[in-house]
Amino acid sequence: MIRLSWLISLAISFFGFLIVNQLFEVQPKGASGNLGFIGFIFLFPFVLLSLFATFRYFLTAARNAKNSVKWLGIISGILLTGFFLYFFLDIKNSIHGSIWKLDQETSRLYFDIYTFGLIHTISGVLGALYGIIKPAALEHAKETGQTPPE
């Protein structure tokens, strides 16, 4: 069930990223600027939900996996983070703009596939690390022979 909710939230925020990227290119008649900020306001809660679902999914997966699989997943996640970070910084350098400035030219820096992948990979790696460092209370209760708290 947790996997399905993670996939649904991932799909919603991914399509939201694509829509916001397109909204930054729309220029309303008689006004300066673009519609990207409006899309960002509606997307923000879904991105937070998706990041939380990604964290929770990898936390649960790390707690239920064998030790060698846990570390293989962490190493793969770090390599994937490096991959996305390389493209993220490459795009930033090609724009020659400030990373904090939101305008039509730099909107692709924030709302593209690489940024989406980077933030979700970081969330997944953090969830897996937390799952390795802090085991579940239920597993601890089974090991000690106590009844788990409800």
35 within domain boundaries: yes
Q: Is 149 domain-assigned? A: no
pLDDT in tens, 87-143: 777 766 665 555 545 445 544 445 677 788 888 999 999 999 998 888 766 555 455
Residue 53: what pLDDT? 92
Question: What pLDDT score was predicted for residue 13?
Answer: 86
How many structural domains comprise the chain? 1
Which pLDDT score is estimated for 3? 82
39 within 8 A of 20, measured Cβ to Cβ: yes
Residue 39 backbone class (left: φ over 0; alpha: ψ -120 to 50; beta: rest): alpha
**What's the pLDDT at 108?**
47
Q: What is the pLDDT of residue 73?
A: 86
Predicted confidence at residue 33, as pLDDT, reads 63
Cα–Cα distance measured from residue 98 to residue 76, given in angstroms and rounded to the nearest whole number:
30
pTM of the predicted model as reported, rounded to 2 decimal places: 0.71
Q: Which residues contact 92 (CB under 8 A, 6 or more apart)?
A: 99, 109
Least Cα distance to 124 among 72, 63, 52 occurs for 52
pLDDT at 134: 82
pLDDT at 142: 54
Q: Examine residue 143 and state whether it is found in any structural domain, yes or no.
A: no
Domain-located, residue 13 = yes
Cα three-residue angle 92-94-97, rounded to 5 degrees: 55
Residue 26 lies in a domain: yes
pLDDT tens per residue, range 20-79: 777 766 666 776 666 666 777 888 888 899 999 999 999 988 888 888 888 888 899 899
Give the Cα separation of 118 and 120 in Å (integer).
6
Q: In this structure, what token pair is assigned to residue 58?
A: 């990898």
CA distance 48 to 118: 14
Task: Answer yes or no: is 31 within a domain.
Answer: yes
pLDDT at 96: 56
Question: Range of 92's domain?
Answer: 2-136
Domain presence at residue 144: no
